[in-house]
Amino acid sequence: MSATQATQVAPNFKVGDKAVYPGQGVGEVMGIEHKEVAGQRQSFYVLRILENGMKIMIPMNKVGSVGLREIIGEKDVRRVYGILREKEVSVDSTTWNRRYREYMDKIKTGSVFEIAEVLRDLYLLRSDKDLSFGERKMLDTARSLLIKELAIAKACDEQDVEDDLKKIFNC
């Protein structure tokens, strides 16, 4: 975790808010529950992941350390599109399994910018050679995570974001 992440104040969410859970994507806060854990009363956000309906309980006092964050704003949307449009990037020529691990680590951070880099790199790599099965799955994961968040951030349909990606990557 970087020093800037550590000093950020963890956001407070209300029921109905959308939030991003690293590696899982956008979820909706369905409720706040209070439970006794190890003899102590704790409060949890109940998050339902929009992509698959999975429910996750996140201790409210651990929101910052697990990386739960708000949906990006307009300025960050522009930055994501800028990352996606960068074409003068040298895609690592290491073995596919090393790239896979590096990309997976980036996706797990939950950073929309890291996910955008993974998506861009995999699209660029795909134009040069066939992706491994794992890389194709990762491309789909990164695309899905990014499309969901960008659609909510831009208040548009996911298809609009999908169309943007097709234009950017000529596919």
Q: What length is written for the chain? A: 171
How far apart, in Å, do the first and last CA atoms of the chain sit?
35
In the chain, the domains with their CATH numbers are: 3-70 (2.40.10.170), 74-168 (1.20.58.1290)
CA gap 137, 131 in Å, rounded: 9
The reported pTM is 0.85
Tens of each residue's pLDDT in the chain, 171 residues? 443 333 345 678 999 999 999 989 999 999 999 999 889 999 999 999 998 999 999 999 999 889 999 999 999 999 999 999 998 777 666 777 888 899 999 999 999 999 999 999 999 988 888 888 989 999 999 999 999 999 999 999 999 999 999 999 987
φ, ψ of residue 88 to 5 degrees: the values are -90, 55
Q: Residue 72 is encoded by which pair of tokens?
A: 């990006």
Q: Return the SS3 of 20.
A: strand
| Burial class of 17 by CB neighbour count within 10 A (0 to 12, 13 to 18, 19+) | middle
Q: Residue 66 is encoded by which pair of tokens?
A: 């697990």
Q: Up-side HSE of residue 11: CA atoms within 13 Å toward CB?
A: 14
